[in-house]
Structure 1
Amino acid sequence: MPAPLSQDDFIAFDRKQAALGQLLFYDKILSGNRNIACATCHHPKLGTGDRLSLGIGEGGEGLGTERTALVDENRIKKRIPRNAPGLWNLGAKELHTLFHDGRLSIDDTYENGFNSPAEEWLPEGLDTLLAAQAIFPLVAQFEMAGNPKENEIAGAVHDRIDASWPILAKRVRVIPEYGRLFVEAFDHIDTPEQVTITEIANALAAFQAIEWQSFDSPFDQYLAGNEAALSDGQKRGLDLFYGKANCASCHAGPLLSDQKFHAIGLPPFGPGRTRRFDPMVRDVGRMGESDRLEDAYRFRTPMLRNVELTGPYGHNGAYPTLEGIVRHHLNPDGMLAEWSPETARLPSAPWLEAIDFVVWNDKREMARQALFRDISPLTLSDDDVSDLVAFLTSLTGTQSVTSPPFGIPEKVPSGLPLDE
């Protein structure tokens, strides 16, 4: 078992910057059409996710399972191709790779400290991996930017990825309250005109890292020496997790993730995160970033604290319950054969339904995916599965979940409505 997490395992962030980041996180000003915020798909009321298998980003209305796709000329053109992950413990020092396919990592390939989709065009001065991550949803067409010709942000992204960030920064800094807060929070900012996307990203990172830091679960208390923190069933589940079930071979270390990539044969559906030259709907996972065949259909191991709160599970949210995803790990091909489209939590969008499950009719693609498995079947009793699920619920934080440092603001400086 890992050593207990402590405050020393997390990057220290400035609380004034975090307070500013709180407002930005909930403010739709950062989206191209001013109609979606970071919080829309990562809301604390929904475990910092959206409770959907594949969400509706830019162009939708509502929150979580109540979020709807608009119709007629305003209808969405595509679902978000992957599940919205939870935001817990993203400020950990040990963390070096983000996104389901690992397309952002700490690396000096482009001589700016990160290997990222922006390559050499990534802005300078980003303090952390989390800050680097924060700027990419802002320029993703179906997440927050919108479609070309709809707004100046989307149009600029269509030209080159870094062209939109100065426009977004100006949009924020000309709001008097934001301008004042940036001057107060950043020592090197003397006037609002100096604010760039870098300060916005660093503020967003500071907020997320402080707000959703969680290591006070019953499991953490148990690691610290309090054996009474876990029930008998949870202790049996812990023994399975670190023993016969072999969960800890991937969900390893203090963060309960090896930060590596594994093929577990999840049921494929949705538009997939296709590459420019893909001739069909598919998601090849890590291979989309690395271009190496050995990485095909492999996805990053998620961290597990607060996993009880962050369903549906898997890179595409294939399973709505912990029991479902546990049973899939035990018998991937058997569960794949039994899985049905009704299992997925997909907001109604009839005009997209032809795409949602088209991959199931592509026999060659399904056969290719079946070649890649990094887990072998394992027989456990129903009681064992129940104990494993019980253990996973022991990873849920206590005060860190119920009383976060900042919470949801009553309003944001742009005056735009909040998603609540």
Structure 2
Amino acid sequence: MHILLSIQTLVNHIFAGLTLYSGKPVAVCLLLTAALNCLANNSLSEPVFRKASSNKVELGRLLFYDKILSGNKNISCSTCHHPSFGTSDGLSLGVGEGGTGVGPTRTTGTGKNRIQRRVPRNAPGLWNLGATEIRTLMHDGRIEQSNLYGNEFNTPAQEWLPDGLDSILAAQALFPMTSETEMAGSNEENEVAGAANDRIDNAWPIIARRVRAIPEYGERFVAAFSTIRRPEEVSIVEIANALAAFIAVEFRSMDSPFDRWRSGDTSALDARQVRGKNLFFGNAQCHHCHSGILFSNHSFKALGLPAFGPGRTRKFDPLPRDVGRMGESDRLEDAYRFRVPMLRNVELTPPYGHNGSYRTLVSMITHHAYPARSRDTWTKEELVLPKAHWLDKIDFIIEQDYLEMARQRSQIDINLPPLLTNEIHDLVAFLHALTGDQAKAQNFIIPERVPSGLPVSQRQLRQNGALP
């Protein structure tokens, strides 16, 4: 990529100089430009994606939309990762167990069933998670490929993670089911949450028993997995592998205008998108972190985003802060660093940042260019947070810790050139060119029913006109 940019700069200088001299382009510039276009079309290697059988994908689809996987049987994976909201939920911080509805209109519940706290971080999109280059997942990378515990993955379950998971995506799929704020509920409410409270791996067999006891699921698992001869053999491993197969195949997205441009269709990008592309790979330096065909180098960076919410605290944290990657690595240099997100379909997944602190791409890019100023002028109007008056204090209590605020301001990894307003809008236009056609058209199959018989709330809400 750096070679490509150097050639681009060379072409620009030669073209400008010779045009001034002769008043019109010359053959050498045309040849160099043609060579540059050839390099540009081939400089980004195609990703390798995991494959799965149609039986396994369809089984995963049903599980993804089925509330049977949650402790109180009232929330599914799709609640926080719905295709209508870019496989996210349109909220700054998610509303998990106890909430009602889907998307930005989801409410925080009422009475004793209302949420006790928000999900600590923004729900990321699920696009292209089947790519084999991905070795870490979650904002803090707490799911990663590693044989530290002898089971191929380093996860919060440590040595208790079950064997047989076929991908890092399958490993990740296990943990929302055991999270109190996401899908499990509190340990007084149901046996799943109670078991997870004792030890995380105690909950998964309970969920597996629920699923395999449903005749249709039992038949589908036998058909999808050659290792399963009888429904009684289904474990949480097969459930996770089926979910991962569905997510990897269904949400693969490589059909954007940028992809057509890479294939030689020079009309695929308009003038503003071309300017944004040149900035992205040039003076704006976006490509240093958002590199490769998936637009991420999968590293961790501190952006100094405005702090709010319950944070992902550790037992000894005095206030609800979020130290990011350091919470997993225990390395001081990782403080406040979060995983660099992939940018395909980013247009569809607002709000932005690990805590959803900016509701538009303009605001998020502006923060990248001017992090200190943006943090100081940030207001709560940037947030998309369903009201919960009983959480008002905890949502913003971190602002009272002046030492913590100073620490966060001092740890910012980005130092980009200043950007003009029109340049920021050009970059936004280019990011829109990374939106896949299928993703934008929402051409995804949502099942009318699921084997558990539990309501597929997303389908009901769509029929009632609540979803866009």
TM-score by length of 2: 0.88
Q: Count residues in correspondence.
A: 418
Q: Deviations over 1:349-408 (max 9, x none)?
A: 00000011111121011011111011125321111111000000000001354364x510
Structure (1 or 2) with the greater helix fraction:
2
1:89–1:209 CA contact under 8 A, matched in 2: yes
Quote the residue 1:115 is aligned against.
154
Q: Deviations over 1:46-74 (max 9, x none)?
A: 11000000011001000111110112222
Quote the residue 2:453 is aligned against.
415
Residue type of the alignment partner of 1:418: V
The RMSD of aligned alpha carbons is 1.2
Quote the residue 1:236 is aligned against.
275
- 2:261 aligned counterpart, secondary structure: helix
Residue type of the alignment partner of 1:337: D
Query: More relative contact order in 1 or in 2 (CA 8 Å, sep 6+)?
Result: 1
Q: CA deviation at 1:298?
A: 0.3
Q: Deviations over 1:140-160 (max 9, x none)?
A: 110000001100000000110
Quote the residue 1:9 is aligned against.
48
- 1:317-356 superposed matches below 5 A: 317-356=356-395
Quote the residue 1:379 is aligned against.
418
Q: CA deviation at 1:33?
A: 0.3
Shift >6 Å, 4+ stretches: none
Structure 2 gaps of 5+ residues are: 2-41, 459-468
* CA distance in 2 between partners of 1:210 and 1:377 (Å): 36
Residue type of the alignment partner of 1:416: L
* CA distance in 2 between partners of 1:157 and 1:52 (Å): 26
Q: CA deviation at 1:220?
A: 1.2
TM-score by length of 1: 0.98
The reply on whether 1:128 has 2:167 as its aligned counterpart is yes
Rg comparison, structure with higher value: 2
Residue type of the alignment partner of 2:214: I
Residue type of the alignment partner of 1:219: F
1:281–1:359 CA contact under 8 A, matched in 2: yes
Q: CA deviation at 1:5?
A: 5.9
Give the one of 209, 229, 237 matched to 2:248.
209
Quote the residue 1:40 is aligned against.
79
The reply on whether 1:222 has 2:261 as its aligned counterpart is yes
Q: CA deviation at 1:93?
A: 1.2
- 2:144 aligned counterpart, secondary structure: strand
Residue type of the alignment partner of 1:159: D
* CA distance in 2 between partners of 1:10 and 1:403 (Å): 21
Quote the residue 1:293 is aligned against.
332
Residue type of the alignment partner of 2:259: D
Quote the residue 1:284 is aligned against.
323
Give the one of 378, 394, 409 matched to 2:433.
394
* CA distance in 1 between partners of 2:48 and 2:264 (Å): 18
Structure 1 gaps of 5+ residues are: none
Residue type of the alignment partner of 2:119: I
* CA distance in 2 between partners of 1:249 and 1:267 (Å): 23
Give the one of 119, 124, 132 matched to 1:80.
119
1:60–1:68 CA contact under 8 A, matched in 2: yes
1:39–1:419 CA contact under 8 A, matched in 2: no
Residue type of the alignment partner of 2:126: L
Residue type of the alignment partner of 2:402: K
* CA distance in 2 between partners of 1:400 and 1:300 (Å): 23
Q: Deviations over 1:19-59 (max 9, x none)?
A: 00000000000000000000000000111000000011001
* CA distance in 2 between partners of 1:91 and 1:253 (Å): 15
* CA distance in 1 between partners of 2:368 and 2:442 (Å): 33
2:86–2:439 CA contact under 8 A, matched in 1: no
- 2:296 aligned counterpart, secondary structure: coil
Quote the residue 1:193 is aligned against.
232
* CA distance in 2 between partners of 1:157 and 1:227 (Å): 54
Q: CA deviation at 1:255?
A: 1.3
1:91–1:210 CA contact under 8 A, matched in 2: yes
2:125–2:349 CA contact under 8 A, matched in 1: yes
Q: Deviations over 1:159-218 (max 9, x none)?
A: 101001000000000001001100111111111000000000000000001100001101
Of residues 250-259 and 30-39 in structure 1, the stretch that sits farther from structure 2 once superposed is: 250-259
* CA distance in 2 between partners of 1:96 and 1:334 (Å): 34
Of residues 350-359 and 64-73 in structure 1, the stretch that sits farther from structure 2 once superposed is: 64-73
Give the one of 86, 90, 95 matched to 1:56.
95
* CA distance in 2 between partners of 1:276 and 1:350 (Å): 25
2:258–2:269 CA contact under 8 A, matched in 1: yes
1:411–1:418 CA contact under 8 A, matched in 2: yes
* CA distance in 2 between partners of 1:399 and 1:71 (Å): 37
Q: CA deviation at 1:419?
A: 2.4
The reply on whether 1:182 has 2:221 as its aligned counterpart is yes
